[in-house]
A and B are shown apart, each in its own frame.
Chain A
Amino acid sequence: MNRRYWIFIGGFIGLLGWQVNRFEGFKKPKNFPEPVYDFKSNAVTKDGFELGRKLFYEPRLSRDNTISCGSCHIQFFAFTHHGHDISHGIEDRLGTRNSPPIMNLAWSKAFFWDGGVFHLDLQPLVPITTHAEMDEKLSVVIEKLKQHPEYPELFRKVFGKPEINSANLLKALSQFMLMCISSNSKYDKVMRKEGAVFTPEEQNGYLLFKRNCSSCHKEPLFTDGSFRNNGLAPGLNDDRGRFMITLDSTDAYKFKVPSLRNIEFTGPYMHDGRFYDLGQAIDHYRFNVQHTLNLDPLLEQNSRHGFPMTEEEKASILAFLKTLTDREFLSNPMLAEQ
């Protein structure tokens, strides 16, 4: 009896350990819709994810081996480039747009502020080859990885062959990015009724948010994935956003609606990072919406631009937005450089 008891306990502990260490792959959070990424063409495996993670933090992806994806996409800031308004590449080169967060990309239909890339697997081609970012040739990246003491074996483990090619490189990077899921904020725990409750201020902010913001920043992803002109005064470089991709004049000055998850940490805000402070970003909608070409009709109602709100209402919205912070995601050791 006693012996059986210990075998049972031992087995249970073993099972627990297995549970903790087991790589679960991609799991859709309960309160999220179905993902749009086609996992049939690239199923996330433990080895694939780990290879992707190593590549994500691999400076060999840049021409002078100085920067990795992780340089401008820092986990603690929801994989954005904290303190940088626009992207900052090798040799101190500057891009034109703000480095967006890497989170919940399995639900994204289009990538970049203008949506010019339509598949996650094609996304890394841009930062790797862009002059102002990593400025490297894909073929050279592949050659560097082939010469590396570890990569050929890691690719073999994932793809069966030691062959390192563009498709395998891109798929491995996707596997890592697909696992950057942020779904454990206080907001999520309230919505999934996991014991968390909004404070009265957060609750009030949530109601205001639903009234003013949620048609574009749609729950639960906090973006509807559309392209809109939110009334920012065009910068001196006259970035026309989505127009560059569709050449449709009704798309001029439209940019992708960004998710507001982890917004507390993803500043600077807007496509050109013009607002360093979240309060400034909210004030834009209160006071500064400009009547430019293709201004979103939702921002122009009853001949008013933007949303009038009191300081108290602004404070409530800010309080609610902070419930979108997901500390488990921001500090998940599985997503960090190893």
Chain B
Amino acid sequence: MKRKLLLSLISVSTVLLYGLNKPENEAAEKLVPLYIQFINQAGNQPLQLNTGQYSNSSGESFTLSTLQYFISNIRLRNSNGKEFVVQQDSSYFLINESSPQSGKVRVNVPEGEYDRLYFMVGVDSLRNTMPVGKRKGILDPANSMDNGMYWGWNSGYIFFKMEGNSPKAPVDPTGQRKFRYHIGGFGGYSAPTINNLKQVAIDLPEQGRIIVRQGSQSTTYVGADILKIFEGKTSIQISEHPSVMFSAFSVNIANNYCNMFFHHHTENR
């Protein structure tokens, strides 16, 4: 009898302690879906893979055949200045221009009014080094490798991938004038190396605030202007850098693309 009492005491206190330590994200608060729609653009034009003709800040014309990037670690700040972190396991998305539905990201957040959106471009180092059994969904190697977004030979996710053609690119070994930007690097596992993880913060203007209510269907549209990849801290010329993958120079491309995101508009329904 005494033992039973002790056991139930232990279990009650465990539940109590768990309740006290429960992170805010898991609080009893009911979560409501919020959609974040990524719209890839070239300047102010909607992006057209293969057919759209564009010109970068160095005056090099080009077309794009591939555009993919990882968005993760989404957070929101409400109008009281309080931050909400989207549940970690449901915060990894691959935006793939050739798969339109991938641009629409769904996260669950508490009711409220939000004026700032944060996300990471890439996959954090923790997930890059996690046991394979814990890598689910798009982080499952079968999925990320099929999408060409994982380096097997140098264990790690590719954060951003853009490929296209340009008359300014030199002829490559396949006989094409292609340029290829595969950007990754989470900082290294046993030896430090490049870290191309980028945090992005987007301020939502007064009329663009996200208002999440029970039964509402809010969508905030985030634009991504791919022309910005070529300009910024470093001007990138296709003729000089037709192929940038795991190299020190890749840092310059990551520094540019983290500035390509902007608030487009918000629909609160």
The answer to whether A112 and B142 have CB atoms under 8 Å apart is no
The answer to whether A247 and B152 have CB atoms under 8 Å apart is no
Contact of A171 among B132, B142, B192, B193 (CB under 8 A): B132
Question: How far is it, in angstroms, between the C-alpha of A115 and the C-alpha of B189 when the chains are bound?
Answer: 10
The answer to whether A112 and B132 have CB atoms under 8 Å apart is no
Which residues from B are CB-within-8-Å of A118?
A: 129, 155, 189-190
Which residues from B are CB-within-8-Å of A166?
A: 132, 135, 140-142
Tell me the smallest distance from the CB of A273 to a CB of chain B, in Å: 18
Which residues from A are CB-within-8-Å of B154?
A: 116-117, 244-245
Tell me the smallest distance from the CB of B46 to a CB of chain A, in Å: 30
Tell me the smallest distance from the CB of A164 to a CB of chain B, in Å: 10
| Interface: A139 (CB within 8 A) | yes
Question: How far is it, in angstroms, between the C-alpha of A121 and the C-alpha of B194 when the chains are bound?
Answer: 24
The answer to whether B142 and A245 have CB atoms under 8 Å apart is no
Query: Known contacts A122-B132, A167-B133, A247-B246: does B140 contact A117 (CB below 8 Å)?
Result: no
| Interface: B9 (CB within 8 A) | no
Question: How far is it, in angstroms, between the C-alpha of A101 and the C-alpha of B140 when the chains are bound?
Answer: 28
Question: How far is it, in angstroms, between the C-alpha of A38 and the C-alpha of B247 when the chains are bound?
Answer: 31
| Interface: A110 (CB within 8 A) | yes
The answer to whether A244 and B141 have CB atoms under 8 Å apart is no
Tell me the smallest distance from the CB of A119 to a CB of chain B, in Å: 7
The answer to whether A246 and B152 have CB atoms under 8 Å apart is no
Tell me the smallest distance from the CB of A301 to a CB of chain B, in Å: 26
**Interface of chain B: mostly helix, strand, loop or mixed:** loop
The answer to whether A247 and B247 have CB atoms under 8 Å apart is yes
The answer to whether A248 and B191 have CB atoms under 8 Å apart is yes
The answer to whether A121 and B132 have CB atoms under 8 Å apart is yes
| Interface: B176 (CB within 8 A) | no
Contact of B141 among A110, A115, A125, A130 (CB under 8 A): A125
Question: How far is it, in angstroms, between the C-alpha of A116 and the C-alpha of B152 when the chains are bound?
Answer: 8
Question: How far is it, in angstroms, between the C-alpha of A82 and the C-alpha of B132 when the chains are bound?
Answer: 31
Chain B residues 149-179 with CB under 8 Å of chain A are: 150, 152-155
Question: How far is it, in angstroms, between the C-alpha of A36 and the C-alpha of B30 when the chains are bound?
Answer: 43
Tell me the smallest distance from the CB of A43 to a CB of chain B, in Å: 13
| Interface: B81 (CB within 8 A) | no
The answer to whether B132 and A167 have CB atoms under 8 Å apart is yes
Chain B residues 234-264 with CB under 8 Å of chain A are: 246-248
Question: How far is it, in angstroms, between the C-alpha of A41 and the C-alpha of B188 when the chains are bound?
Answer: 22
Which residues from A are CB-within-8-Å of B140?
A: 165-167
Query: Known contacts A138-B145, A165-B140, A244-B246: does B132 contact A117 (CB below 8 Å)?
Result: no
Lowest 3 CB-CB distances: which A-B pairs, in order?
A125-B152, A167-B133, A138-B142
13 cross-chain CB contacts under 8 A: A110-B190, A117-B153, A117-B155, A118-B155, A118-B190, A119-B129, A122-B152, A125-B152, A138-B146, A244-B154, A246-B188, A246-B191, A247-B248
